[in-house]
Chain A
Amino acid sequence: MEQFTLNLIVVGLTFALYVGIAFWARAGSTSEFYAAGRGVHPVLNGMATGADWMSAASFISMAGIIAFGGYDTSAYLMGWTGGYVLLAMLLAPYLRKFGKFTVPEFIGDRFYSQTARLIAVICLIVASVTYVIGQMKGVGVAFSGFLNMSYEMGLLVGAIIVAVYAVLGGMKGITYTQVAQYVVLIIAYTIPAIFISLTITGNPIPALGLFSNTAAEGVPLLDKLDTVIQDLGFASYTAQTDTTLNIFLFTLSLMIGTAGLPHVIVRFFTVPRVADARSSAGWALVFIALLYLTAPAVGAMARLNFVDTMWPNGPQEDAIAIEEMPNWVQNWERTGLLAFEDKNGDGRIEYWADEEKNEAVKVDRDIMVLANPEIAGLPSWVIALVVAGGLAAALSTAAGLLMAISSAVSHDLIKSMINPAISEKNELMAARISMLVAIAAATWLGLNPPGFAAQTVALAFGIAGASLFPAILMGIFSKRMNSQGAIAGMLAGLLTTVIYIFLHKGWFFIPDTNSFTDADPLLLSIKSTSFGAVGAMINFAVGYFVSNATQQPPEEVQELVESIRVPKGAGAAQAH
């Protein structure tokens, strides 16, 4: 059977499964649409959170970025897992006790201010839309590879499918669908990794294979990789090349962003008890760690296999001849994400670090995971499985984010500020329209994304970490924090971070409108993806000084803070 037909069958089957589950558990009332009626077991909730969390950035993009970035990119691994520790200890249990539906609702009530709530809605929308742009890049790569079309066409097809998918089901559909998606994506990620690890190191567990000897030469895998890529002029894989300051701030940005992203926090509103919010975070991280411990192995082995493909007999011998290029190369060349140029006209493609003589002129990092099973020559059903897994990852997160955006618009903005008398039917309609608008905007910006999928998503984390995380944290841990402090802090964190990002990535991510680049950033060595940590510090500082210079929060708000600190008396969420 042809690869394409097989891809179609496997992707079709998994989709039928998700849509079936979504219909089976179709959302009825608005309360179910937002928070799934709160009856979800911590292990299942953890699994669904895992699927919700692991997006195109984790599944499709991250290992490719690690493959070409080595040690420096460890920030992604630590950042996107370490945030769960913060979530479990600093936010989730108290927000569950608070017992409302959305993050802006908490901010509005805790800071007794509709203005604070409005600003939280804005922060949420800016962070989530940026996040969806990253997902769209991943969706575009996956569909273009799978349907053999250009990246732009793949993006368009993907956007339509995301739209249909997200508008159809509410959170309830999504919770159970996401459990299924988690299972599909973890199998799809692990199986090729096991095959590849077995071939290269003889160890069936990729996470252990990474630190094992190669089967062929009997030298440590990482040693071999270091030697091979240094021969081509690249920096050593295991050595640090970025500055310590930037790696530190980048890791911190991703961690606080994890804890500040509304679509993840919302998950913890759906567990039955406060204690379950803590253990749910633990279970979520267990399921996430299964992929995150495998990812660095996938990255290192993919890099090695890629070099082997380009230099079949090693860099001392001839490079690969154009007519001997394997199938996967031709497939990905068609998408425009992989490009070669035979500069010296010898009929061979030479892969070097040196820009002058490198002939593999474009290797989009985001294709590595999807192309990996083909590069390693794995059976075609494995390739089909990876395509299905990548789509599951991208769709589940895009849907979760679009839920967060639509509930912020319909519930926090329209229902509580603009038109409180809105009917339930119109509220649902507003939710769906805001989803479609968000998808359209993200798709348009996804045509020229500000970076690879995981880098774009990292920007979203910086924005969430700089704006929402400090406000929620201070709302719980400081009784003194008042509305003026929170509002000034959120605005300062959001604006400094967004402006810093726009200065480096272009205004509103429009290409060529940037004044600086991440290679030569404005402040010290702080790249735009790392600035979220600085923005958060600014937020904390501004919040602290402004609140101390203004009135104490009212008595009843201080009592509210007291009450969310203890689990006792947490009921079901209050409907409005």
Chain B
Amino acid sequence: MSDKQSSNAYWRANIRTIWICIAIWAFVSYGCAILFRPLLSGISVGGTDLGFWFAQQGSIITFVILIFAYAWRMNKLDREHGVEE
């Protein structure tokens, strides 16, 4: 495989990973904490509802995990496609 093809495949794999992460990122913040909050109002968490928890803590925790998951996955992709430094 030429360098060009390999870096194209690498880039496509990267884009796919980004889309998955973006979907999770949007789901917890714009979804659970804002748009779907009324739907989740039946689930109570410490004096309030799940949407409130996502808005004030749940999203932040998810974001931290997401970045490390992305970094881990990309390090692996870097090696698989031979584009690491």
Query: Is B40 an interface position by the 8 A CB rule?
Result: no
Q: Report yes or no: B67 in contact with A275, Cβ–Cβ below 8 A.
A: no
Instruction: Kindly identify which residue among B56, B71, B83 contacts A566, using a CB–CB cutoff of 8 Å.
Output: B83
Chain A residues with CB below 8 A from B83, complex form: 566-568
- Distance (Å) between the CB of B79 and the closest chain A CB? 10
Q: Report yes or no: A74 in contact with B56, Cβ–Cβ below 8 A.
A: yes
Query: Is A71 an interface position by the 8 A CB rule?
Result: yes
Q: Report yes or no: B46 in contact with A293, Cβ–Cβ below 8 A.
A: no
Query: When chains A and B are docked, how far (Å) is the Cα of A88 from the Cα of B74?
Result: 11
Instruction: Kindly identify which residue among A210, A219, A252, A282 contacts B67, using a CB–CB cutoff of 8 Å.
Output: A282
Query: Is B64 an interface position by the 8 A CB rule?
Result: yes
Chain B residues with CB below 8 A from A569, complex form: 85
Chain B residues with CB below 8 A from A251, complex form: 29-30, 34
Q: Report yes or no: A222 in contact with B67, Cβ–Cβ below 8 A.
A: no
Write the chain A residue with the least CB distance to B7: A566
Chain A residues with CB below 8 A from B85, complex form: 273-275, 567-570
Contact with B along A68-95 (1 / 0, CB 8 A): 0001001001100110111011100100
A: number of interface residues (CB 8 Å): 51
Query: When chains A and B are docked, how far (Å) is the Cα of A568 from the Cα of B63?
Result: 27
Write the chain B residue with the least CB distance to A286: B64
Which of A240-248, A303-311, A370-378 is the interface stretch? A240-248
Q: Report yes or no: A85 in contact with B60, Cβ–Cβ below 8 A.
A: no
Query: Is A292 an interface position by the 8 A CB rule?
Result: yes
Instruction: Kindly identify which residue among A221, A293, A567 contacts B84, using a CB–CB cutoff of 8 Å.
Output: A567
Within 8 A of A (CB), among B1-50: 7, 10-11, 14, 18, 21-22, 25, 29-30, 33-35, 37, 45-49
Write the chain B residue with the least CB distance to A247: B34
Within 8 A of A (CB), among B61-75: 61, 63-64, 66-68, 70-71, 74-75
Write the chain B residue with the least CB distance to A284: B67
Write the chain A residue with the least CB distance to B38: A240
Query: Is A285 an interface position by the 8 A CB rule?
Result: yes
Query: When chains A and B are docked, how far (Å) is the Cα of A286 from the Cα of B53?
Result: 18
- Distance (Å) between the CB of A254 and the closest chain B CB? 11
Query: When chains A and B are docked, how far (Å) is the Cα of A220 from the Cα of B45?
Result: 10
Within 8 A of B (CB), among A286-339: 286, 289, 292-293, 296
Q: Report yes or no: A210 in contact with B71, Cβ–Cβ below 8 A.
A: no
User: A220-B46, A238-B52, A568-B84 are known contacts. Are A82 and B35 too (CB-CB below 8 A)?
Assistant: no
Query: When chains A and B are docked, how far (Å) is the Cα of A247 from the Cα of B52?
Result: 13
Query: When chains A and B are docked, how far (Å) is the Cα of A468 from the Cα of B77?
Result: 29
Write the chain A residue with the least CB distance to B10: A566
Chain B residues with CB below 8 A from A292, complex form: 60
Write the chain B residue with the least CB distance to A299: B56
Instruction: Kindly identify which residue among A86, A252, A282 contacts B64, using a CB–CB cutoff of 8 Å.
Output: A282
Write the chain B residue with the least CB distance to A220: B47
Q: Report yes or no: A82 in contact with B46, Cβ–Cβ below 8 A.
A: no
Chain B residues with CB below 8 A from A281, complex form: 67, 71
Write the chain B residue with the least CB distance to A66: B56
Write the chain B residue with the least CB distance to A300: B56
Q: Report yes or no: A565 in contact with B11, Cβ–Cβ below 8 A.
A: yes
Query: Is A223 an interface position by the 8 A CB rule?
Result: yes
Q: Report yes or no: B25 in contact with A285, Cβ–Cβ below 8 A.
A: no
Chain A residues with CB below 8 A from B7, complex form: 562, 565-566
Write the chain B residue with the least CB distance to A477: B15
Query: When chains A and B are docked, how far (Å) is the Cα of A77 from the Cα of B7?
Result: 37
Query: Is A57 an interface position by the 8 A CB rule?
Result: no
Q: Report yes or no: A282 in contact with B47, Cβ–Cβ below 8 A.
A: no
- Distance (Å) between the CB of B20 and the closest chain A CB? 10
Q: Report yes or no: A82 in contact with B63, Cβ–Cβ below 8 A.
A: yes
11 A-B interface contacts by CB (under 8 A): A74-B52, A77-B59, A78-B60, A89-B22, A210-B57, A248-B34, A248-B35, A251-B34, A275-B71, A566-B83, A568-B82
| Residues of chain B at the chain A interface (Cβ within 8 Å) | 7, 10-11, 14, 18, 21-22, 25, 29-30, 33-35, 37, 45-49, 52-53, 55-57, 59-61, 63-64, 66-68, 70-71, 74-75, 78, 82-85
Give 4 new A-B contacts, CB below 8 A, not counting A89-B22, A568-B85: A85-B70, A238-B47, A286-B64, A566-B10
The 6 closest A-B pairs by CB, nearest first: A220-B47, A211-B46, A74-B55, A222-B47, A282-B67, A278-B71
